[in-house]
Every structure is written in C-alpha cells, then in structure tokens.
Amino acid sequence: MTPLSSPPQAPVDVPLVLERCREVVRPALLKAVGRMHPWVGEMAAYSFGWCEVGGAPAAASGGKGVRQALAVLGAEAAGAPGRAGVPAAVAVELVHAFSLLHDDIMDGDPARRRRPAVWKAYGTGPAVLAGDGLFALAVETLATTQAAASALRMLSAALGDLVRGQADDLLFAARPWTGPQRVRPAEYRAMAEHKTGALLGCAAALGALLGGAPPPAVAAFDRAGRRLGLAFQAVDDVLGIWGDPEVTGKPVHSDLRERKKTFPVLAALDSPSPEARRLAALLKSEADPQEVAVLIEAAGGRAAALDEARGHIAAAEAALADVAPQGTAGDELRALSAFLVRRDL
C-alpha cells in the first residue's frame, strides 16, 4: 500500500518519543490529579489506567499520550525546552480524559481500553462528577501559566468545537442513510475536525504558545494538529471496519455491527457506483457485516478514506513547513503523524 506520509529526514523512533514526552509530563499530571477529592481522584486515576476500582495500583494502558507529545514537541519546535509545554500537555490530557468519560456515557459504551468504562465501574453519576472534576482541573492548570489569558481562550475554543462535534455525531445517528437528509462526507469531515481535530490542534498550539512562539506560528501548529486529527479519524474509521481485533481491541466489523456512520460508509454511499445503491439497502437491514464491508470497499469507501488521510497528512506537513520547527521537533512531529496513520492498514 502507498505510504500515507513521507518519512522524516532522519529515522525517528516514535514510541521512544512518545515515552519521552510521557515521562516529562507524568509527574505534573500525577500531581494535578492528586489535588482532586480522593474519590474523584481515584476515578480519574482509574481512567488513566493507574489503578483498579478501590485504588489498588494497576498497569493498564492509558493510551499513547499523543496529545501530551504534541504539546511537548510544540514547545520544543518553538525553541523552548519540552518542559515549557508541560502545563499545556496536562491541561489537554485532562480535557481528553474528561471527554472520554462523558462520551462513554452518552454512547453507552461499556468498555474503554479493554477495561470497564468508568461509568460501568463506578456508576453514571460518579463518572459525570469525575469528568467535571477533570475539566475544572484543566482550567486551573492553565490559569497558573504566564500566558493564562491566551491559553484559556485557546482551550475554551477547542472545547466549544469538541461539544459541537459531539452534538453532530449524536445527531448523525438519527439521520437516514439515503435521501436529502443523509449525512454527507463533508458534514462528517466537519464533525471530525471539531470532535477529534480540535483538541489535537489545541495541544500543539498550546505547547507552542507556552514555548514562546509568535501568533502566526501558534496558528500554524493548530492547523497541523487539526489536520492530523482528521487523518487519524479517517484511519480509525478504516480500522473500525477492517481492522485486526488483536490490534484494535474491538470485534471485527465492530462499526458496521453498530451501523455507525463513518467516513468509508458515507463515501461509498456518495459514489455513483451500482454497489452504492445495494449498500444503502443492506445498511437498512440486518445484513451480515462481512457482506456490507465487501460492498463498501467495492464502492470505493475504503480507498476514499485512505485518500482522505493522505490529504490531511500532506496539509499537516505543509502547516509545519510554514513555521520551520527548531531542533529535531519537526522530524519528530512528522514521524508522529506518519506513525498514527500507519496502524496496521
């Protein structure tokens, strides 16, 4: 398969970069969560994979730490030490955790990263409270920085986008597969930029802001992060249909079983092919997901999603080129982009 992104100028060990950034951020993140009410803090720690229900230590996966890395690398790309981006990394990671807690409740998802979701482990009300606490802590974290006013405006704008994206995502579920009210790929793209891209853009931009970057550079980092988020979502949608369960942690064809309106499906439905008409009929039925997946691919949905990812990665790289990142941060950011969209396709 054609690569989704060109490699950086020098080899970059992306897992090592992610680990380095997590290690820079982790003490501050632990300290922040430690300021919460003990019970609320336990739920937050559980969501990060640090403990089991009841507080016993755990070693569950808390995610790759992509947003943390974008904030640290954003600061480094601006010519500052990575630690300058730590408050940005902590704030965005707290907001991300808050959004996942509430998303799982809204979507009724019982599991997160192969463990019971917080609302299943502790109850719906407590999970809402933990999410609220994480959000408040994120605001407090940025309020103590020298660029507090600008940083908080940036975070609030990203949160507004996130809410808009989540609202559209919830409304899409009730819209028909065909006809004038169907969800178009462009609408889905706008939803994904808000729901996924905004926080990735905010992470990189906040890191650059706290690293002393001028406003045009901060805006460029935001654009790059948003495009990375769109590419990530397009690939995630491909994996949601054709991904290996051992890698994704989800059953094969999981998104089709739930009849989710994802980019490959919407692109296939929007094509003029005869397969698109048959696909629309199958989606309204109890058809075998395997049969539906074959039709989506035949109608060009998989190829369209991968082309979408390639285009967004190219746009992210162009945005980074506009600011000429300092040191090795540029190569590391480009390598991170490629790493995130080459997930066992």
> Each residue of 142-195: pLDDT tens digit?
999 999 999 999 999 999 999 999 999 999 999 999 999 999 999 999 999 999
Please state, rounded to an integer, the average pLDDT across all residues of the chain. 92
- Do 155 and 95 contact (CB within 8 A), yes or no? yes
Q: Is the pLDDT of residue 1 over 90?
A: no
Q: Is the pLDDT of residue 3 over 90?
A: no
- What helix, strand, coil percent values describe the chain, rounded to 5? 70, 0, 30
CA 296 to chain centre: 24
Q: Among the listed ranges 54-63, 94-103, 240-249, which one has the minimum average pLDDT value?
A: 240-249
Nearest by Cα to 344 from 261, 245, 213: 245
Q: Is the dihedral of CA 19, 25, 26, 29 positive or negative?
A: negative
101, two tokens:
């807690």
- Residue 123, φ and ψ in degrees, nearest 5: 110, 155
Reported confidence tier of residue 206, pLDDT bands at 50, 70, 90: very high
For residues 60 and 76, give the distance between their C-alpha atoms in angstroms, rounded to a whole number. 29
Centre a 10 Å sphere on the Cβ of residue 7 and count the other Cβ atoms it contains: 12
Q: What is the 3-state secondary structure (H, E, C) of 163-211?
A: HHHHHHHHHHCCCCCCCCCCCCHHHHHHHHHHHHHHHHHHHHHHHHHHC
List beta partners, residue 115: 112
> Each residue of 231-246: pLDDT tens digit?
999 999 999 999 887 7
- Do 38 and 90 contact (CB within 8 A), yes or no? no
Centre a 10 Å sphere on the Cβ of residue 68 and count the other Cβ atoms it contains: 28
Q: Is the pLDDT of residue 105 over 50?
A: yes
Q: Is the pLDDT of residue 303 over 50?
A: yes
Q: Is the dihedral of CA 234, 239, 240, 242 positive or negative?
A: positive
pLDDT of residue 210: 98
CA angle 85, 66, 309 (to 5 degrees): 125
57, with CB counted inside 10 A (0-12, 13-18, 19+), is exposed
DSSP state of 8: P
Nearest by Cα to 94 from 28, 49, 138, 36: 138
Nearest by Cα to 100 from 73, 70, 62: 62
Give how far Cα 193 sits from Cα of 160, 262, 271, Å: 12, 13, 22
- Do 173 and 261 contact (CB within 8 A), yes or no? yes
> Each residue of 279-298: pLDDT tens digit?
999 998 888 999 999 999 99
